[in-house]
Amino acid sequence: MSEAHVEPAMVSLTIDSGVAEVVLNAPHKLNSLDPAGLRALSQAYATAGEAAARGEVRALLLRGEGRAFCAGRDIAGVSAENDDADAYLSGLVQPLLQQMSAFPAPTFAAAQGACLGVGLGLLLATDVVYVAENAKIGSPFAKLGATLDSGGHWYFTERLGMHRTLDLIYTAQLISGSEAVAQGLFSRAMPAESLLENTRSIVAGAATGPTSAFQESKELVAQIRDQRLGLWDAMAHENSAQARLSRSADYAEGFTAFQEKRAPHFRG
């Protein structure tokens, strides 16, 4: 097992058995992120991405230590009069979320407690999100005289529709993880006490899968989202992806394993 600690200590990265685990490790402040924390998180993803390029990382798990995933921006020392919100959001948050979204392997998040603001943004930049049943998700910004950020408007409108999105924004209501999954925001809700164990098991399985095939799907789903591909255009992209994969070692292994009635051994 290899371990790399990324400064400052509020973010850590471990790499083991093909899985990179990135941890927000400031539970005393509900893992809220200041500029230094955002830079540390970016560095963790960069380091994990370099390992992925060497074939050492085939899946990534993001989680928060303690009772919250991430309560959003750390505003404890921010002066409203001098706050450069655009520098924080456009200069730090958005580039980080784009970096996370482009990670060259499947990414997963296990989220408990507060998932707000930039914390919500971290989740929407992750491929697959599992939440604790009692997680808290929404837009509390009405109480700050601010608005939902980190891509939240797009994400909520896309998944919930205009009326429910503005309802959550205007009322500052927080919904549970179970409600968020029922309304189509995230993949699965689990009991908080088993969330991490179950997610780690799923991520470990993904790390033994056909990484190139997963990456093709990840890129195509992003194209469908961002370019609004129609059925036949998306199918044409699928055809091209399958043609590329058909020349790979994992494709040959998958067919051979099926014909030999054994489990495949993918090299990624």
User: pLDDT tens across 1-37, in order?
Assistant: 555 544 447 899 999 999 999 999 999 999 999 999 9
**CA separation (Å) from 134 to 22, 153, 205?**
22, 22, 26
What are the residue ranges in the chain where pLDDT is below 70? Answer: 1-8
Q: Percent of the chain scored above 70 by pLDDT?
A: 97
Count CB neighbours of 22 within 10 A: 25
User: Which of these, 36, 9, 40, 3, lies nearest to 25 by C-alpha position?
Assistant: 9
| CA 229/CA 233 separation, integer angstroms | 6
- pLDDT of 5: 45
- pLDDT of 83: 75
- pLDDT of 8: 46
| CA 22/CA 15 separation, integer angstroms | 9
- pLDDT of 76: 80
- pLDDT of 81: 73
- pLDDT of 3: 52
- pLDDT of 6: 45
Q: What sign results for the dihedral spanned by CA atoms 127, 129, 147, 27?
A: negative
Element (H, E) at 242: helix 231-245
pTM: 0.93
